[in-house]
Amino acid sequence: MKSFNIKWKILLFGLCAALIPIALITTMYYLYLRTEIRDREINRFTALAKAKKNYLLLCIASKENRVIDFCSDGYIRESLEKITHGEYRSTIIQSLTKYLKTAKLPIDTHMLGIHIVDTEYNVIVSTDEKMAGKNIYTEEKLLTNMDFTQKKVYLYPLHFCSLCGMKGFHIISPIHHLGISRKEPLGYLIACFDVSAINEIFTDYRNIGDTGEVYLVNRDKIMITESRFVKDAPLQQKVDTEPVRKILESSQEMVGIYTDYRERQVVGVSIDIPDCQWILLAETDKAELFASLKTLGIISLVLGVSVCLLVSCTGTLFAASISRPIQKLKAATKSFSAGNFKGRVSLRRNDELGELANSFNSMADTIEREIQYSSHTMSELVKSELKYRSIINNTTALISIIDMNGRYLLINKEYENFIHKKTEEVAGKTVHDILPRKAADEIVIHDKKVFETKQPVQYKIQVDSDTGQHTFISVKFPIFKADGIMYAIGSISTDITDLKKMETELLHAQKLQGLGVMASGIAHELNNILAVIDANIQLLIKESKGRIKLLQALSIIREQCIDGAEVVRRMKEFTSTSVDPRKMIQVNMNSLVNNIIVFTKPLWKNIAEGKGLKYQLNTDCLKNVPNIKGNSPELREVVLNIFLNALDAMPEGGTISLSTWEKEGYVFLSIADTGTGMTDEVKAKIFDPFFTTKKKGMGLGMSVVYGIVKRHGGTIEVQSQPGKGSTFTLKFPATAEELPPQPSSKDDAGKKRKSKYRILLVEDELAIGKILENLLSDNGYIVQYVNEGRKAIDLLSKECFDLMLCDIGLPDVSVWDIIKFIETVEKKPKIGILAGIPDIKEKYKNGQLLAFDFIITSPYELEEVLSSVQRVFNNTV
């Protein structure tokens, strides 16, 4: 059967029915449209309220995340630890206050202040200096009933804050220890936010009419945001309405008509926000919202009466005019519900249906704007994500995120450059697929620790790559969802390879500098001591003619004094590449080796056998070789150092093989042991200053050996394997050069002779002074000895002398002051300087200070003293 549309039904009903059926139809349409329009208006208002709620939660979440980010700031945590431990407290508090003011507070324009409190709730650091020392618990009771084991951050509801002196709300989060898993935090960070941060959301009255408003109420039924109709409503206006009571009593939200806080009938929506302890209310006057329905009711009534009067002649026109716009409205409504928010009802009418269409179009515009606004908000969030990703990709640290199965979710650009793989290639793979096994195993151990403890972990790790071995300081930390469930692990690894190299170089430089300072400081004193010993030995040698054993013992002692002086000099100059040509003599390598064997025999034989150890020396391969040109004490120290190291490498005994040979103009010496040997790593560092594998010693021995060998134009090579011993091979150029003999005294130097020359001897060291006085007196000079500079000046003013022999380091008067005084006397004596500083000749070789005739450096050679004195008097003659 063919169905009839509404137009024909209305026409048929108008022709067949009287006035009452026509009026009934009009009333039915009115009731139908009224319910539909009412539901759509309430749904629109509900959607608006939910949008405001979502925007509010988004705003609060951004504030909370910012506070959590502040609490994880390494500088804030490190500074708070130092303050807690009392380290430089005032300085660190000032620095941290400045950091909060300049680096944190400006980030959010709604932020009124930042306070850091200890576990006793006392303010330690605050952007408001007046807050320092206040107790948060007694002032605001902010930290009561807050369990940070359940939540990372707490929002303290809007109230009038006595801390800031303004209406606002607080977000509180704990600050934990750096790298230490402790339940008790270091303290708490409290951020105060202005109420304007929320008011901006609720004071936007667009699309809610002239009487609409959206506001927040706390659990005390007090309005906490601005009111459109009541001045100074925040924290003062009481809101004890039906929807508020329902939420407080039964957590039941409400949508409907009720009496608001102004005692006006409104259409409203209530939404509970339990996390913030707030209730959101969106309300508009019932009269305004349903104004179109009232008008439609009046029009429907008039239309019904008109239909009753004009049913016969206007029924067809009325049916046609009412059916078409309703169909358009339905079509638009279906299209809108299907997701086409661009659909509108196109009616050029000024009657009720035109108003209905306009209301629909206005509602559609409002919803579309709200959707666009939400899209804009989402776009801003995407921009924020891009900004943070830009920061991550431009940092020099390696950053990655893995899921709970250990598979990569994300890596930054620096990580991509390190492993030469893109994020897309890494996604879904594990660390064992990317990094070397040793490093991967260590990383997995720390990942498991973070999984189990849900706490950050810091550690140092070394990773091999195609550019060499890199050292990283890595921090791994858990990443949680909004509901507190951990879903991933983040990692930040900072490459400290170059920093370690610079630190090592700095330590070496500091050690070298310290050694130089030490050598300079003790050289003078040690040389004085050695000078006394050497001078006395020389005198004893002169007096011991014919006593062979005593002369041999004294000769050995004197040789050790000379070696001691040489060692002192090299303490300061062991890195020098220059060689003093005056001390270069012909050295026979076999004789040098045999002397070392004899010298160390008590160590490798007598003492060792007493301990039950047995060392064997193999010297069968010591062949006749040419002499080399060198400094005998230095070369002796080279061989001795390597020989002693060989003994140390054989704690259970063993064999040392010594070999010499000549090849292509070079003399070779090989010292091999059967000891523990060395790894490649140790072998690569063996000649580094301060490197040692022994519990004792400074690690200078082999670096000095290396320097001596290089200064002599030689080379040194090392061959070693763990458990198979070590072999050191020395190579020096052979020499056939006839070197000048060692300086000796003249034949008649030991003979006493009379002399007319008077000498003033000035030396503060009595032992040295007496030796020199006896030496000069025995050789016929008239000597006047004093141990103070003032006494010397006094004698010079009264008597005449032919020579003043003066120590350069007098404690009371400078030698230069004495020389200046000599310039004032009539008969000026010759001047000789006794210097305890080895490089004094270099300092004054150009005579840039004051004139003198000669300088003798310690330890003093007595023959050199005599020859210098004789030379100056011979020149006088």
Percent of the chain clearing pLDDT 90 (strictly above): 17
Q: How far apart are CA 89 and CA 94, in angstroms?
A: 9
Q: Is the pLDDT of residue 318 over 70?
A: no
Average pLDDT for the chain: 79
Question: Is residue 679 in some structural domain?
Answer: yes
545-567: per-residue pLDDT in tens? 656 567 667 777 877 777 677 66
Do both 733 and 821 map to the same domain? no
Looking at residue 553, what is its pLDDT?
75
pLDDT tier at 700, thresholds 50, 70, 90: low
Distance (Å) of CA 205 to CA 40, 48, 558 = 19, 11, 105
Looking at residue 246, what is its pLDDT?
92
- Closest by Cα among 104, 116, 113 to 80: 116
The CB density around residue 174, as the number of other CB atoms within 10 Å, is 21
Question: Is residue 367 in some structural domain?
Answer: yes
Q: How far apart are CA 113 and CA 105, in angstroms?
A: 7
Q: Is the pLDDT of residue 287 over 90?
A: no
What is the mean predicted confidence (pLDDT) over 43-57? 86
- Pairing status of strand 187-194 against strand 111-117: antiparallel
Whether residue 183 contacts residue 243, with contact meaning beta carbons closer than 8 Å, is answered with no
Q: Highest mean pLDDT: which of 320-329, 458-467, 671-680?
A: 671-680
Number of domains comprising the chain: 6
Do both 312 and 358 map to the same domain? yes
Last residue of a domain, one of 438, 465, 495: 495
Residue 649 neighbours by CB under 8 Å, 6+ apart: 673, 675, 676, 677, 725, 726
Helices 632-648 and 589-601 sit at what angle, rounded to 10 degrees?
50
- What's the CATH code of the domain at 711? 3.30.565.10
What is the mean predicted confidence (pLDDT) over 794-819? 89
780 Rama class: left (phi>0) / alpha (psi -120 to 50) / beta: left
Question: Is residue 607 in some structural domain?
Answer: yes
139-161: per-residue pLDDT in tens? 555 556 666 666 677 776 666 56
The CB density around residue 407, as the number of other CB atoms within 10 Å, is 14
Q: Is the pLDDT of residue 245 over 90?
A: yes
Last residue of a domain, one of 158, 180, 198: 198
Do both 591 and 734 map to the same domain? yes
- What's the CATH code of the domain at 239? 3.30.450.20
Q: Mean pLDDT check: name the lowest of 247-261, 422-436, 499-513, 627-641.
A: 499-513
Looking at residue 750, what is its pLDDT?
40
Structure tokens at 313: 């002649």
Residue 621 neighbours by CB under 8 Å, 6+ apart: 657, 658, 659, 660, 661, 670
What is the mean predicted confidence (pLDDT) over 357-377? 73
Residue 445, burial from CB neighbour count under 10 angstroms (0-12, 13-18, 19+): exposed
- What's the CATH code of the domain at 763? 3.40.50.2300
Percent of the chain clearing pLDDT 70 (strictly above): 74
Give the residue, 187 or 846, on which the prediction is more confident.
187
Looking at residue 197, what is its pLDDT?
77
pLDDT tier at 1, thresholds 50, 70, 90: very low
Looking at residue 671, what is its pLDDT?
95
Q: Mean pLDDT check: name the lowest of 385-394, 440-449, 657-666, 797-806.
A: 385-394
Looking at residue 163, what is its pLDDT?
59
Instruction: Report which DSSP code applies to 109.
Output: T
Give the residue, 588 or 130, on which the prediction is more confident.
588
774-790: per-residue pLDDT in tens? 888 888 899 999 999 99
Q: pTM of the full predicted structure?
A: 0.35
Domain of residue 265: give its range. 203-289
Looking at residue 531, what is its pLDDT?
74
Tokens 């006397």 sit at which residue? Answer: 825
What is the mean predicted confidence (pLDDT) over 361-378? 72
Do both 781 and 869 map to the same domain? yes
Whether residue 660 contacts residue 590, with contact meaning beta carbons closer than 8 Å, is answered with yes
Do both 302 and 360 map to the same domain? yes
- Sign (positive/negative) of CA torsion 874, 866, 805, 754? negative
pLDDT tier at 310, thresholds 50, 70, 90: low
The CB density around residue 455, as the number of other CB atoms within 10 Å, is 16
Q: Is the pLDDT of residue 703 over 60?
A: yes
Do both 268 and 370 map to the same domain? no
Question: Is residue 832 in some structural domain?
Answer: yes
323-342: per-residue pLDDT in tens? 677 777 777 777 767 766 66
Question: Is residue 823 in some structural domain?
Answer: yes
Looking at residue 492, what is its pLDDT?
92
636 Rama class: left (phi>0) / alpha (psi -120 to 50) / beta: alpha
Q: Mean pLDDT check: name the lowest of 64-68, 144-148, 394-398, 586-590.
A: 144-148
The CB density around residue 782, as the number of other CB atoms within 10 Å, is 15
Q: How far apart are CA 263 and CA 230, in angstroms?
A: 13
Do both 247 and 214 map to the same domain? yes
Q: Is the pLDDT of residue 867 over 80?
A: yes
Q: Which residues pair with 545 in a beta bridge?
A: none
Looking at residue 391, what is its pLDDT?
79
Whether residue 831 contacts residue 852, with contact meaning beta carbons closer than 8 Å, is answered with yes
Q: Is the pLDDT of residue 185 over 50?
A: yes
Residue 732 has phi, psi (to 5 degrees) of -130, 145
Q: How far apart are CA 320 and CA 329, in angstroms?
A: 15
Do both 317 and 346 map to the same domain? yes
pLDDT tier at 477, thresholds 50, 70, 90: very high
Do both 53 and 92 map to the same domain? no
Do both 170 and 269 map to the same domain? no
Last residue of a domain, one of 495, 520, 548: 495
Q: Is the pLDDT of residue 824 over 70?
A: yes
Do both 616 and 634 map to the same domain? yes
Do both 589 and 726 map to the same domain? yes
Q: How far apart are CA 591 and CA 593, in angstroms?
A: 5
pLDDT tier at 7, thresholds 50, 70, 90: very low
Q: Is the pLDDT of residue 540 over 90?
A: no
Distance (Å) of CA 389 to CA 59, 395, 422, 650 = 21, 10, 15, 59
Q: How far apart are CA 489 and CA 484, in angstroms?
A: 14
Question: Is residue 502 in some structural domain?
Answer: no
Question: Is residue 522 in some structural domain?
Answer: no
Q: Which residues pair with 113 in a beta bridge?
A: 192
Question: Is residue 872 in some structural domain?
Answer: yes
Whether residue 224 contacts residue 147, with contact meaning beta carbons closer than 8 Å, is answered with no
- Sign (positive/negative) of CA torsion 333, 335, 338, 343? negative
